[in-house]
């Protein structure tokens, strides 16, 4: 983000004026200098208010009345931004856009409506930037002339939903505190030197180079594996400490705002500095400016500066220009296939795997000499009269896609699948046809299908008893593995429950094929012979990139039996044994904890959690007794259970649990929230906490 123009009305000191950055064709001045008076200081504040976003106005660390000339009229700020892709916008969206903010006392802020703009060019695209949403896009830093850093332990966990505001709070409050430099150097050193994380390494290498060259600091010990930063800090001269504090705080916030960028210091943004000449001695000031210029090569600086400091401002830095972002022309999409009324359109609405029913329908119609086209979700293609769509799930998104398809295709649309009607099946003559693999070329060398359908167990949450009934054989390996395929995605509901299960497993062993038991295996049905056969089968994940065994564990019944069966299989850690655990149906927190504790005790096992989604007309979840009097103790134990892999899956469960806990008890379980954001999406923690607490997310 770059700030190009600012128009304001009813500002306390500046009144109604405008600010424009020096622009030359497709470049702007990198360093814009303002006078060091109260007008310049207020202008920096107005820029921070505009680029900070409406959500933060009521939380500014100052009295809003200080910004108003007439308290009975709104303070209006219109501005023009240059937005960068991919951070601030989609690459195909306009790069130069306008927006505005209107503030009404005592603390109401809103976006100016398009019809109320007074200063922005008519042809300028009005685009509301999501400045208050998260900590990543539209990067803005601001510093007042006096900086005080934390002396106590600093906090780096983003738990404050208004964390983004601390990046410019010293412009409004001289007593606001910035990053504790020792604490942050310890943190940066850990990531860069001890853990060799690439972005952190780039940052600490440049940081140490610049501080050594321009501030005469011996930073060589900073790159050693053992270093005492408190001692290193104490060895600095007072003028060095004063100069380093804003640099360290800058590095901290740039890195925090760039979790997905290889070199965070190359991130574009805006930095507002009120009297940066006070951060160092007059002699050091030119070197300090040069260090900042090199540290942030793509950041736009707007600063107030005394006359003496302006005279010593480095000429090389003064001449710097920044290239404005441009728009990328969207690549031309391939035209939709032209269909005639005789062609057949098949639509895969929501399958996560190739849709077997559509593959058989494709074979059926091609045998009749028809041309078949496959579309996805709610694609609309002109010219066709016969449309067959299949949906597997009954989610709200699936229903939305079906609604859109019905509106477009009308009576020419036939929809089937478990998400619409669990009992509707393909005609038997079509069901017996081989699948058309050309419909899903991404399958490549993988076969897909059923050996058996059905299950003898009538679990009330499961669609299989309603849809398939008891277990029965529907095909054989010879049919499924035509054309010499040696990899099979097996969709069987419960193959081990079939009387001929051992025969099927033995044939897999003899053929030497790789099998993905996609719908899991029932470990309770394992016996010695099945265990030996399963260990000889190359059981794989769906992409066939590694060995995996899939089992299910949906309750706490017969855990001793499950342990005995597991021991029969004699798994090694390299076997990657995954248990699918459903939650959110009728278990309690104590039940869930018992399952996870049990699975952690099985050598080499790990968990994949799956939330219960009711089937059509299926039972609704019963969570009325999910928590008991020991809920906090259960959660404390839960977050201490770490599996060797797939903890990302457990995070999904943690999020669901934390929301249910907040709804039930009206408070947060801070340990659980801390665990959710310990490793992933740390920058979203404050917004998440705000959503649980019923606050407006920012």
Q: What is the pLDDT of residues 640-679, one digit of tens each?
A: 998 887 788 899 999 999 999 999 999 999 999 999 988 7
The pLDDT value recorded for residue 336 is 64
Answer whether residue 697 shows pLDDT above 50: no
In degrees, rounded to 5, the angle at the alpha carbon of residue 461 between the alpha carbons of residues 402 and 657 is 90
In a domain, 421, yes or no: yes
The pLDDT value recorded for residue 132 is 55
- Same domain membership, residue 391 and residue 308: no
In a domain, 283, yes or no: yes
- Same domain membership, residue 328 and residue 353: no
In degrees, rounded to 5, the angle at the alpha carbon of residue 571 between the alpha carbons of residues 568 and 577 is 115
Pairing between β-strand 446-449 and β-strand 413-416 as defined by DSSP bridges:
unpaired
Q: In the block, which residue shows the tokens 């020096």?
A: 22
The pLDDT value recorded for residue 495 is 96
In a domain, 442, yes or no: no
Answer whether residue 482 shows pLDDT above 90: no
Sign of the dihedral defined by the CA atoms of residues 459, 462, 465, 468, in that order: negative
Q: What is the pLDDT of residues 225-274, one digit of tens each?
A: 999 999 999 999 999 999 999 999 999 999 998 888 999 999 999 999 99
Compute the average pLDDT of residues 209-230: 96
Q: Please identify, among 332, 363, 396, the residue that sits at the C-terminal boundary of a domain.
A: 332
Q: What is the pLDDT of residues 612-632, one digit of tens each?
A: 988 777 788 889 899 999 999
Q: In the block, which residue shows the tokens 């930073």?
A: 219
In a domain, 439, yes or no: no
List the one residue out of 376, 362, 343 whose CA is nearest residue 439: 362
Q: How many CB atoms lie within 10 A of CB 2?
A: 25
Q: How many CB atoms lie within 10 A of CB 206?
A: 16
Pairing between β-strand 321-323 and β-strand 27-29 as defined by DSSP bridges:
antiparallel
Kindly state the tokens that stand for 189. Answer: 């050193």
Q: What is the pLDDT of residues 374-394, one digit of tens each?
A: 998 888 888 888 899 999 888
List the one residue out of 8, 287, 244 whose CA is nearest residue 149: 244
In a domain, 198, yes or no: yes
Answer whether residue 524 shows pLDDT above 80: yes
Alpha helical stretches, state H, 303-355: 307-311, 315-318
Compute the average pLDDT of residues 464-479: 91
Q: What is the mean pLDDT of the chain?
A: 91
- Same domain membership, residue 139 and residue 24: yes
- Same domain membership, residue 525 and residue 379: no
- Same domain membership, residue 310 and residue 374: no
Q: What is the maximum span of the chain, computed from C-alpha positions, in angstroms?
A: 93
In a domain, 437, yes or no: no
In a domain, 339, yes or no: no
Range with the lowest mean pLDDT among 165-169, 463-467, 592-596? 463-467
Note whether 589 and 634 are within 8 A (CB).
yes
Range with the lowest mean pLDDT among 45-49, 57-61, 692-696? 692-696
The pLDDT value recorded for residue 49 is 93
- Same domain membership, residue 177 and residue 78: yes
- Same domain membership, residue 499 and residue 363: no
Give, for 71, the enclosing helix (H) or strand (E).
none
- Same domain membership, residue 405 and residue 323: no
Compute the average pLDDT of residues 530-551: 94
Note whether 215 and 291 are within 8 A (CB).
yes
What radius of gyration do the chain's Cα atoms show?
32
- Same domain membership, residue 628 and residue 562: yes
User: Quick one: pLDDT band at residue 82, thresholds 50, 70, 90?
Assistant: very high
**In the chain, count of helices (H) and strands (E)?**
21, 28
- Same domain membership, residue 385 and residue 297: no
Q: In the block, which residue shows the tokens 């130069």?
A: 96
Which three-class secondary structure state does DSSP give residue 298? Answer: coil
The pLDDT value recorded for residue 695 is 39
| Cβ burial 390-409 (10 Å sphere, 16+ → b, else e) | bbbbbeeebeebbeebeeeb
- Same domain membership, residue 362 and residue 319: no
In a domain, 338, yes or no: no
Please indicate whether residue 679 or residue 183 has the higher confidence score (pLDDT).
183
List the one residue out of 90, 428, 137 whose CA is nearest residue 258: 137
Instruction: Give the CATH number for residue 213.
Output: 3.40.50
Domains in the chain, number: 3
Q: What is the pLDDT of residues 312-346, one digit of tens each?
A: 999 999 999 999 998 887 777 777 667 777 889 99
Note whether 124 and 98 are within 8 A (CB).
yes
Compute the average pLDDT of residues 120-141: 80
Compute the average pLDDT of residues 88-107: 91
The parent domain of residue 322 ranges over 1-332
Q: Please identify, among 312, 332, 352, the residue that sits at the C-terminal boundary of a domain.
A: 332
Q: How many CB atoms lie within 10 A of CB 574?
A: 8
The pLDDT value recorded for residue 53 is 81
Q: What is the DSSP string of 181-238?
A: HHHHHHHHHIIIIIS--HHHHHHHHHHHHHHHHHH----GGGGSSS--HHHHHHTS-H
Answer whether residue 685 shows pLDDT above 90: no
As a whole number of angstroms, the distance between CA 420 and CA 413 comes to 13
Q: In the block, which residue shows the tokens 């942030």?
A: 296
The percent of the chain in helix, strand and coil, each rounded to the nearest 5, is: 40, 20, 45
The pLDDT value recorded for residue 694 is 65
The pLDDT value recorded for residue 329 is 79
- Same domain membership, residue 202 and residue 95: yes
Note whether 471 and 494 are within 8 A (CB).
yes
Q: Please identify, among 332, 355, 376, the residue that sits at the C-terminal boundary of a domain.
A: 332
User: Partners of 376 in the beta sheet?
Assistant: 348
């Amino acid at each position: 983000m770059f700030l190009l123009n600012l128009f304001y009305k009813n500002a306390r000191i500046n009144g109604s004026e405008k600010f424009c950055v020096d622009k030359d064709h497709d470049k702007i001045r990198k360093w814009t200098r303002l006078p060091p008076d109260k007008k310049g200081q207020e202008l920096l504040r107005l820029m921070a208010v505009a680029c900070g976003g409406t959500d933060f106005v009521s939380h500014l660390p100052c009295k809003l009345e200080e910004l108003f000339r007439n308290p009975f009229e709104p303070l209006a700020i219109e501005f023009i931004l240059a937005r960068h892709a991919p951070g601030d916008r989609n690459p195909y969206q306009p790069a130069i856009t306008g927006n505005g903010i209107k503030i009404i006392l005592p603390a109401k802020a809103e976006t100016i409506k398009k019809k109320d703009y007074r200063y922005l060019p008519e042809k300028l695209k009005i685009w509301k930037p999501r400045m208050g949403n998260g900590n990543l896009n539209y990067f803005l830093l601001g510093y007042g002339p006096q900086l005080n850093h934390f002396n106590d332990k600093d906090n780096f966990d983003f738990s404050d939903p208004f964390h983004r505001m601390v990046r410019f709070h010293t412009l409004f409050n001289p007593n606001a505190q910035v990053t504790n430099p020792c604490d942050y150097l310890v943190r940066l050193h850990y990531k860069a030197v001890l853990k060799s994380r690439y972005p952190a390494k780039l940052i600490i290498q440049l940081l140490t180079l610049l501080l050594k060259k321009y501030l005469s600091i011996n930073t060589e010990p900073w790159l050693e594996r053992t270093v005492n930063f408190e001692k290193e800090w104490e060895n600095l001269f007072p003028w060095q400490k004063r100069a380093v504090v804003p640099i360290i705080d800058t590095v901290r916030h740039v890195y925090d705002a760039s979790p997905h960028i290889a070199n965070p210091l190359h991130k574009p943004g805006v930095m507002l500095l009120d009297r940066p000449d006070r951060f160092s001695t007059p002699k050091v000031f030119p070197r300090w400016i040069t260090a900042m210029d090199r540290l942030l090569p793509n950041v736009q600086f707007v600063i107030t500066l005394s006359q003496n400091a302006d005279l010593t401002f480095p000429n090389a830095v003064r001449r710097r220009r920044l290239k404005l972002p441009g728009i990328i022309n969207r690549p031309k999409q391939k035209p939709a296939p032209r269909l005639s009324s005789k062609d057949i359109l098949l639509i895969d609405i929501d399958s996560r795997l190739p849709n077997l029913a559509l593959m058989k329908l494709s074979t059926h119609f091609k045998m009749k000499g028809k041309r078949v086209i496959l579309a996805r979700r709610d694609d609309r293609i002109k010219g066709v009269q016969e449309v067959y769509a299949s949906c597997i799930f009954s989610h709200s998104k699936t229903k939305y896609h079906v609604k859109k398809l019905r509106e477009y295709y009308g009576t020419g649309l036939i929809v089937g699948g478990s998400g619409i009607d669990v009992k509707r099946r393909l005609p038997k003559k079509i069901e017996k046809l081989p699948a058309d693999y050309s419909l899903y070329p991404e399958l490549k060398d993988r076969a897909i299908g059923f050996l058996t359908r059905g299950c003898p167990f009538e679990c009330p949450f499961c669609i299989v008893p309603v849809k398939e009934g008891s277990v029965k054989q529907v095909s054989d390996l010879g049919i499924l593995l035509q054309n010499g395929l040696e990899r099979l995605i097996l969709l069987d509901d419960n193959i081990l429950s079939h009387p001929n299960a051992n025969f099927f497993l033995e044939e897999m062993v003899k053929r030497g094929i790789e099998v993905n038991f996609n719908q899991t295996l029932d470990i309770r049905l394992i016996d010695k012979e099945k265990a030996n056969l399963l260990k000889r089968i190359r059981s794989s994940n769906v992409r066939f990139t590694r060995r995996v065994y899939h089992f299910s564990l949906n309750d706490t019944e017969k855990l001793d039996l499950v342990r005995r069966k597991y021991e029969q299989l004699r798994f090694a850690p390299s076997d990657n044994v995954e248990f699918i655990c459903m939650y959110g149906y009728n278990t309690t927190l104590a039940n869930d904890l018992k399952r996870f504790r049990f699975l952690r005790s099985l050598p080499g096992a790990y968990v994949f959690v799956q939330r219960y989604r009711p089937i059509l007309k299926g039972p609704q979840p019963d969570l009325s007794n999910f928590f008991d009097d020991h809920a906090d103790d259960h959660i404390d134990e839960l977050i201490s259970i770490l599996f060797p892999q797939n903890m990302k899956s457990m995070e999904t469960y943690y999020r669901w649990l934390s929301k249910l806990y907040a709804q039930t008890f009206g408070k947060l379980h801070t340990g659980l929230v801390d665990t959710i954001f310990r490793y992933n999406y740390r920058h979203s923690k404050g917004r998440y906490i705000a959503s649980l607490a019923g606050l407006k997310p920012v």
